[in-house]
Amino acid sequence: MTKEIHMTAVQTDNEDITAALRRKPRFNEIVIQSFLFICATVSILTTIGIVYELGKESMNFFLKVQWEEINKTLAEPLSETDGVLLTGTSGAAIAEGDLIRIDQEQMMVLSTSDLTLEIERGVNNTGIAPHSAGRVIYLARDVSLLEFTTGTRWSPQVGSFGIWPLLNATLMTTVIAMVIALPLGLGVAIYLSEYASDRTRNTLKPIMEVLAGVPTVVYGYFALTFMTPLLRLVFGADTVSIFNTASAGIVIGILVIPLVSSMSEDALSAVPRALREASYGLGATKLETAIQVVVPAAFSGIAAAFIVALSRAIGETMIVAIAAGAGPAFTFNPFQSAETMTGHIVRISGGDLSYDSIDYNSLFALGLVLFFFTLGLNVVSQRIVRRFREVYE
Amino acid sequence: MDLYSDTRDVPFDSRTITRHRRGRFWRFVYGASTVVGIVVLILLLLNVINSVFGFSAIENRIQPDDLAINGIPIESLHKNDLVFILEQNLSAGLIRRLADDLPFEERSRENVYDLVIEWVVDPEVIASWSLFDSIFNRDRIAEEMAERYPAADLKFLSWLTWKFITTPQSSDPENAGVRTAILGSLYVIGITIVFSFPLGVGAAIYLEEYADPKRQINRLIQTNINNLAGVPSIIYGILGLAIFVRLLSVLTSGAIFAGSAGDATANGRTILSAGLTLGLLILPLIIINAQEAIKAVPSSLRLASFALGGTRWQTVWNHVFPSALPGILTGTILAISRAVGETAPLVVIGASTFITSDPDGPFSKFTVLPIQIYQWTSRPQAEFHSIAAAAIIVLLVLLLSLNATAIFLRNRYTQRL
């Protein structure tokens, strides 16, 4: 009897202990974990936001017909049967083949002579209606993907939206920057990792970091007030204009030197000492060891550094906005002024930009191009690191 | 046969000398590239300093000596006499405007004296020379002065003065200052910190302490953060324009909080939008830096805490986070100093460039230091370049003190761990 009682007591005790040891749902922990997860997803939302907004507004840029007010009015009343209209003298010119709109009615311009336009009424199933004199004429603007990707003229005022002048200027500044930054950056990296003593390295690296931390607008000031006058002094003020892509490109190059050197230096330092020792042991000089053993071993890191620097140079904005010039120009002369994609975005968004204008939408189309360029380069650089990385030990 | 007899007098490898010479040459080249980097930094600073200080030719509209009353120079005149001079020389409308700002009775003598200098004497810089010109070409400057500006005084002046820091923006380079820009920068950065620090650290803790790296979603988040860090800042400006300025304009213009000190005219181009945009911009940097700091915490700390029955959050909050904090702070400060210097995204979301009144809250229009520098640099006149240079020095000092704080934190706390 007593034994039985004892048994049950033990049993209940066991049950209590199991219950006590069972994992309790901790609501606080769950709430906190969910909150932290949400923090992490903000970055995903940012990417989605970038892609969605750039994509949406770019679609508007390419697909939606924009009605631009060109300051032109109807000079004489237009009845329902008229096939010819007379416009006022002010405002931008209307060319043959343009689509125009008065009130709700759309019309296709068949031929023009001075201020008279021969028109086809009621295009796109819009109803034909009489219009009184003084009504505003809107001009349709649409941009085809073909024009955007192949056109060599960008002037929104007259409706030319070919990306090449902007893209070309971007490529020019980038190429100049890379010509400066890659050899110098790699040189600095090799010096710091292979030649410099610990003490020199510990003094020089912070200096390079300071160079990397200077805001780009300061570099822009440097380009305009130092590099441009220097170029004008060397090549003559006649050949070099005040705003030019060469000056901007060189300074962008200077800007990315620390980026190239610090990433490459990390890659070079990661090469194990044994490789160097083996090379010395075979009688190689320091230079031969550095160039033929260490640099190839660190190739993936160096290549990644180059690509990141390239992407940085393409996206660089303030230096080109200040020093490269305002006004798209399709030129291969680095001493002429030309506007890059980023420079153009800054200039047109600087004023009061009205939403849903074609300028506003063009900003997003340029942004999208820029985004894909830099994203592509970043992805490639990560691929290279993963694919060609030499793993030691 | 003696193997060595033939080669004893010839070096065993005749190319050794050339190889070593080549080695020395390239060593010099590599050293030179490093020197170039340092020289550029020095040139950058010299170039800025060069335009901040130097001789200026100053022409007064009315010579101060002509204003003396009964032979007493204006420096020692009584306040009432100074007010009299103002009334004598200025239009009634201007006097009324000045009195509207603050009645003359309530102004101090110094203040009235400043008004006399600003409005009556009205000194104007008609030419200025750079520091190097001022030092090395004094004779030429003196000649040029005598020839072209006989009525002007030659003065060695610094564009960077206490007055420059404390006065608001003006269209006149002599009277322009960066007060509104500094305040704007501080407001914007404040919002950036409040927004991005908790989010960034939270995300880093999640990725390092909670996330299972095998799960697709966590890998996606990590890759995505690495990619976002490489997106050009101007893209964030476009995003900010579309989302904060336009889509959320009800929120960012303060219209939703009717009755508060909102400035409805700013239509979303406000301090709040700017702070949030920069917050998104530096979020990936903060996350990556914080992740590094958390990774550096030894796992024995975590295991000890778990062994004592600590839950995951207790472990993180009481052990991992405090140990990682100095590293997190250092990384955050570096990210913030990036945000302080950012210009392009703020131009895109529409920072106002000409503002004379201090920002009074998150919903007011704003300008920041880099924008001021950009604006002044874009003007053709040399005087504006000089004040741009002065503003650059202010910005660099601000950044330098931020970086010094970061280094101080790093040194102080890493030794203790």
A40 → closest Cβ in B206, B230, B235 = B206
DSSP state of A116: E
In chain A, what residues touch B223 (CB-CB under 8 Å)? 382
Q: Which of A33, A287, A342 sits opposite B27 (nearest CB)?
A: A287
CATH (residue range A67-141): 2.40.30
Is A218–B373 a contact, with Cβ atoms under 8 angstroms apart? yes
Chain B closest-CA separation from residue A192 CA (Å): 8
Question: Which of A30, A35, A39, A268 should we substitute to test contact with B (largest number of B Cβ atoms within 10 Å)?
Answer: A39
Hey, where are the domains in chain A?
A: 2-62, 67-141, 161-388
Place of tokens 């750079």: B130
User: What is the reported pTM?
Assistant: 0.83
- Interchain contact, B37 vs A207, CB within 8 Å: yes
CA Rg value for chain A: 32
Q: What is the rounded distance in angstroms from the CA atom of residue A321 to the CA atom of residue A344?
A: 8
Residues of A (310-329) whose Cβ lies below 8 Å from B: 311-312, 314-318, 321-322
| Euclidean distance between CA atoms A53 and A252, whole angstroms | 29
Check residue B1 and give its pLDDT. 43
Q: How far apart are CA A269 and CA A83, in angstroms?
A: 78
Residues in chain B: 417
| pLDDT at residue A192, as a whole number | 92
CA distance A367 to chain B (A): 6
Q: B243: which chain A residues are within 8 Å (Cβ-Cβ)? A: 49, 53
Whole-angstrom distance, CA of residue A22 vs CA of residue B287: 35
Chain A residue with Cα closest to B310 = A29
Long-range contacts of B245-251 (CB under 8 A, 24+ apart): B245/B269, B245/B273, B245/B349, B245/B350, B246/A355, B248/B273
Q: Are the C-beta atoms of residues B48 and B388 closer than 8 Å to each other? A: no
List strands edge to edge, sheet with A99-102. Answer: A66-73, A136-141, A99-102, A105-113, A116-123, A84-86
Q: With contacts defined as CB-CB under 8 Å, which chain B residues touch A57? A: 242
Taking the C-alpha atoms of residue B160 and residue A45, their distance in angstroms, rounded to an integer, is 43
DSSP one-letter string for A298-340: THHHHHHHHHHHHHHHHH--HHHHHHT-SS------TTS----
From A49, A191, A214, residue closest to B30, measured CB to CB: A191
Nearest chain A alpha carbon to B315: A29
Q: With beta carbons less than 8 A apart as the criterion, state whether A47 and A112 touch.
A: no
- A392 burial level (CB within 10 Å; 0-12, 13-18, 19+): exposed
Percent of residues in chain B assigned helix, strand, coil, to nearest 5: 70, 5, 25
The answer for A 170-199 residues in CB contact with B (under 8 A) is 183-185, 187-188, 190-192, 194-196
Cβ–Cβ of A195/B233 closer than 8 Å?
A: no
Q: Please tell me which residue of chain B has the smallest CA distance to A314.
A: B232
C-alpha to C-alpha distance for A84 and A120, rounded to whole angstroms:
9
The list of chain A residues with pLDDT below 50 reads 1
CB B351 within 8 A of CB B269: yes
Q: Nearest-CA neighbor of B348 among B231, B234, B266?
A: B234
Contact B61, B121 (CB under 8 A): yes
Smallest Cβ–Cβ distance between B230 and the set A257, A311, A317 belongs to A311
Two structure tokens written together for B114: 């400043």
Site from A44, A218, A287, A308 to mutate, B interface, most B CB atoms within 10 angstroms: A218
CA gap B60, B151 in Å, rounded: 8
- B-facing residues of A in 242-261 (CB < 8 A) are 254, 257-258, 261
Q: Identify the segments of chain B with pLDDT beneath 70.
A: 1-13, 258-266, 414-417
The burial class, CB within 10 Å (0-12 / 13-18 / 19+), for A302 is buried
A contacts of B227 (beta carbons < 8 Å): 47, 375, 378-379
Half-sphere exposure of A53 (CA within 13 A, CB side): 24
When CB atoms are compared, the residue of A35, A187, A318 closest to B344 is: A318
**Are the Cβ atoms of A363 and B23 closer than 8 angstroms?**
no
Neighbouring C-beta atoms of residue A355, cutoff 10 Å: 11
| A89 CB-contact burial (10 Å; exposed 0-12 / middle 13-18 / buried 19+) | exposed
ipTM higher than the 0.90 cut: no
CB A62 within 8 A of CB A143: yes
B32: which 2 tokens? 């030179």
Identify all chain B residues contacting A266, using CB atoms and an 8 Å cutoff: none
Query: In whole angstroms, how far apart are CA B408 and each of A227, A239, B333?
Result: 35, 49, 11
Distance between alpha carbon A360 and the CA centroid of its chain, in Å? Answer: 16
**Which one-letter amino acid corresponds to residue B339?**
A
Regarding the domain delimited by A161-388, which CATH topology (the fold level of the hierarchy) does it fall under?
A: MetI-like fold (1.10.3720)
B324-333: burial string, b at 16+ Cβ within 10 Å, e else: bbbbbbbbbb
For the beta carbon of residue B393, count every other beta carbon within 10 angstroms.
18
Please give the span between the terminal C-alpha atoms of chain A, in angstroms, as a whole number. 70
SS3 A74: strand
Using the beta-carbon criterion (under 8 Å), do B350 and A208 form an inter-chain contact? no
Do A211 and A258 contact (CB within 8 A), yes or no? yes
Phi-psi region of B254 (alpha: psi -120 to 50; beta: other; left: phi over 0): left
Minimal CA separation from A58 to chain B, in Å: 12
Domains defined along chain B, listed by start: 55-166 (no CATH), 179-416 (1.10.3720.10)
- pLDDT at position A104 is 77
pLDDT of residue B404: 85
In three-state secondary structure terms, A155 is strand
Helices (H) and strands (E) in chain B, counts: 18, 3
Interface touch A32/B220, C-beta < 8 Å: no
In chain B, whose CA is at the least distance from the CA of A352? B350
